[in-house]
Amino acid sequence: MAGYNKQGIMLINKPQGMTSHDVVDRVRHKLGMQRVGHAGTLDPLAEGLLILLVGRATKLFARFAGFDKEYLGALKLGEVTTTGDSQGQLLKKNDYGLLDQERVREAFSHFEGEIEQVPPMVSALRVGGKRLYELARKGIVVERAPRKIKISTLKILDINIPHVGFYVKCSKGTYIRKLAEDIGQSLGCGAHITKIKRVGIGPFKLEEAIELDAIHESHLRNAAF
């Protein structure tokens, strides 16, 4: 069977603008096999580390999906969009003139540790058999129950109000765009995400990943089956 001996995982540096499924399709074509999946979606806006599971390694999805994730992010205060990111339509523009670095740092500190987060409408969660993002595209908003997540580390890297750069290490099920929105709401001016780069998944780091144009079966790593 073609591709039978191609097994394992592959670390890819996903470029911005592509869906995770686009990357999977590219690798399927390159390896000449269909049994390829990914272990955690990155939105088209997001870039960075994407773990692909090839052959029998596709059975290991739950193991990889359960790892903590690490991101570099950036948000913009004072603007609320339909999608919680810079690709959405502007809904509100609020004054942030009274904010200073101390208030921003204080707001961030409240989101470290175990918290509850309501999944955004622009997500792949299913409600009544429909993906939330499918409903959102139709302008439908439904109730979503909050879920417990853990923010192990939330560190501000730079502040140039209204822009804030940060690093976050978080549990599975954490939505970075929603984190940005919630921080903006806590400051009273709203916010949206402008950048998401995944730099770590469990023990795997972005520095180990290969560029999409350079993929080859020799980049497959062994995985325990």
Catalytic residues: 43
- Angle made by CA atoms 99, 105, 107, in degrees to the nearest 5: 80
Spatial separation of the C-alpha atoms in residues 36 and 57, rounded to whole Å: 9
State how far the alpha carbon of 42 is from the alpha carbons of 20, 63, 93, 95, 193, in Å.
6, 17, 27, 31, 14
Amino acid identity, position 203:
P
User: Measured between alpha carbons, how far is 159 from 40 in angstroms, rounded to an integer?
Assistant: 29
Distance, CA of 192 to CA of 116 (rounded, Å): 19
Helix (H) or strand (E) holding 64: helix 61-65
- Burial of 97 from C-beta contacts in 10 A (0-12 / 13-18 / 19+): exposed
Asked if the bond preceding 120 is cis, omega within 30° of 0, the reply is no
- Rounded CA-CA distance 85/162 in Å is 14
Q: How many C-beta atoms surround the C-beta of residue 169 within 10 A?
A: 18
